Structure 1
C-alpha cells in the first residue's frame, strides 16, 4: 500500500464587518414618570430627588408655579400610564411653566413628554424653552385630533440654554372661547441634562491584511451610547484630526483600500446621544501586506487505528487566520484540500 502524503498551507486574515447601536449618566432630571416615581413630578440633582406627586390634588403644580401661575388643570379624565395628567382647553388656557432647572453644567438637554389632543387649531399650543431672556418655541402641537398618546422627544444642544435658570413652558394662550370641545393633555414630562462623557474604549487592537486593517475593541457599556469614531494617521503621533469613520455601532471596524507596506496608527473614541465624546482609546497600529504567511514547519504524522494524527508548529504571523490541509496518495503531487473550513492552530 502506498503511504498517504500530506501538505499544508496557511491562510492570511479574513475580515468581516457588521453593524449595531445605544443611552448614560444624568446631571439633572425633571420627571413625571409614574412607573418609576409613582406619578410624580420631580427633580434629580445627581442622586438627590425632590418629588411632587401628581396624585396630590392639593399641590399638584408645586414644581410648575415658581415663575408663572399655572393656568392648566390637573385632571384624571385622561392619563398616559397612571391616573392624572395636565389639561388645557378654553377654560384652562395659558402657561404651564416649570420651576428653574440648573442646566449650567449640561452639554445637552433632552426633553420628552406624551401628548394627545382633540379639535385643535394648528398654532395654538406651543412648547417653549427659556434661555435666560426669551422663550423659544421648539414644537407646536399640530392641529386636528389625535386620540392616541404621542411621544415628543428632542435633544437641545444650543449653549444658550445651558444656564442656571433653564425652564420648559407649555403655552396655550392662543386658545379662545370659540374652541369648544378642544383640549390638549400632557403627561410623563422628562427633562434630562447630560454632561457625562462615555468612558474611553478599551483594548483597541489592529490586525493587518492585504490593503486592509481590522480593528477591534471592548464594547462600551453606557446605556446612552450612540457610536464610535475612528481616527488614523501614519506618523504615530498624537495628532488625530477628523475621523475617517463615524457612526460605527459595533466594537470592530475594517479599514480598506490602504497601501501595503505602510504602517497605520489608530485611536477611537465613543460618543453618546447627547454628543458627549470620550477621550481617545489606546493607540494601535498595523502594516497591511499582501505577503502570504510562512509555510508551516515541523509537520509530523503518526498512525492510529484507521486515523492519522498530524502535528505542526504554530505560525507566528500576526494576521494568521488558519490552515488548509491537503492529502495525496502520491508523493510530491496530486494533493487535494480535504478541510471544509480553516483549521485553527493546533493538532488534528
Structure 2
C-alpha cells in the first residue's frame, strides 16, 4: 500500500486580528511540510484546488512545481483538480511540465469538486455540472492516451481541436489520472468502466458504509475487461497523528473552527466535541490519534476495502506548524513502516 498525505492549504482565521494567515506564510510552511513528508519516506503528497478566502491554493500544479524542487522521491498530485471548470488542454500542458520538473512523479486527480465557486468564476453554468465533467474527462483522456500528439477533437462543451500537438510531453510514458469520488454511484461506475484508478473521500460517518460502493467499483472494473492486477483504489480521510491520544483535544479547536466556517454556508449545526470524538473511534472516519490506533484503523479498513493507497488529509483548520510537522513525522516514521510490514 502507498501511504501519503494531502492538504488544501487552509488559512486559519485569527479572531483577535480578524485576519487569516498570510498565504505566503502558509506556502512556506507547506514547502517545509512536503519536504519532511519526502524525507520520512511517505509515498504521495497531494494538493487541492479552491477559490475561497479560507484556502490558499487555487492552482495545485503551481504549488506542486515548487514542491518538486524541494523533494526527491515523493509522488506529487492534485486532490482534486476541479476538471469541470478547467481547460483539459492547459491541464495536460501544466502537468506535463510538472512531470518534467519532478522527473516522472506526477499524477492528476480529477473530480467534480465539493465547492462550486469555480463555475461562475470561469464562466460555466452549474446546469452543466455533470456534462462538463464528462466532456472534459473524455478530452483529457484523449490527450493523455495520444501523448498530446496529432489531436483531433470535437467537443460538445469544450473547444474543437484539429491536428494539434501539445508541448512539453510528460516525462512518464503516460500521465496517470485518478478519479476522486464522494458517494455518487454514477461517478464510481464511470471510473470503473474507464479502468481509471479511484479515490474515495471518506470524511465523515462510518467508513464501512462505503463497502458496497467499493465493491461496485471492483465488480464493474472487472466486468469491463480491465486487468485486476492493475486496479488501483485509494481512501482519503481526515488525519492527524500525535504522540498520544491527547492529540484529539489539542487538534479539536483547529478542526472545529474550519468545520463551523464551512457549515455556515451549508446549514450545518455547530460542530460538537461529541461528534468529533465519536468519529475518531475505531469504526469512525477520522484518523486522529496516536500511531498504534492509526495503524490499526488503516489495517482494519484494508480488510474491508483492499485499497492500494491511503492518503491522510492533514491540514484541516491550519493547525500550528510544529504540530503538523510532528504529525507528518509520526505518520512517516511510526505509522507507515508498520502498515507496510503488516501488508507485505
TM-score using structure 2 length: 0.21
Q: Which has the larger radius of gyration?
A: 1
Higher relative contact order (CA 8 A, sep 6+): 1
- Structure with the higher fraction of residues in strand conformation: 1
TM-score using structure 1 length: 0.20
